[in-house]
Amino acid sequence: MSPVRRCSRTACGRPAVATLTYVYADSTAVLGPLATYAEPHCYDLCAEHSERLTAPRGWEVVRLLDGSAPARPSGDDLEALANAVREAARPQERAAEAGGAGRTADPMEVARRGHLRVLRSPDN
């Protein structure tokens, strides 16, 4: 028996890359990444058949994104990472700001460590 799962379509021997599941109650066909295990009521499809998939009239096709593909970082992600690194590199400045009189502190705040805050219980 081959360890590679094959497309469920008749006469197709290509390796499966996606799993198709029908939700009959909602008239929906869900096409997602290849399931970890072969399920009896699901259909494994190759890349070609998963791209060409159509549903019966009146049904909706839901295509789930493949989570295994690495997402490319956006400019916002890179900027947030750079800002976090810059902030972590300046611990002396943050400590001076926390103890400074010019800072308007939250009356509920008891202590602060980086971006984490310890708040006073509302009962006290």
Sequence-distant (6+) residues with CB within 8 A of 41 are 21, 22
Of 48, 23, 22, 50, residue with least CA distance to 34: 50
For the chain, give the mean pLDDT: 78
Q: DSSP letter string over 17-66?
A: -EEEEEEGGGTEEEEEEPPSS--TTEEEE-HHHHHS----TT-EEEE---
In a domain, 42, yes or no: yes
In terms of residue numbers, what domain contains 38? 1-69
In a domain, 31, yes or no: yes
Summarize pLDDT for 51-92 with one digit per residue, the tens.
999 988 999 999 987 655 555 666 777 787 788 777 777 765
In a domain, 100, yes or no: no
pLDDT at 67: 58
* In contact, 31 and 63? CB cutoff 8 Å: yes
pLDDT at 102: 45
> How far, in whole angstroms, is CA 41 from its chain's centroid?
26
Summarize pLDDT for 15-28 with one digit per residue, the tens.
999 999 999 988 99
Q: What is the pTM of this model?
A: 0.52
Structurally, the chain folds into a number of domains equal to 1
| Residue 117 predicted with pLDDT over 90 | no
Maximum Cα–Cα distance across the chain: 77
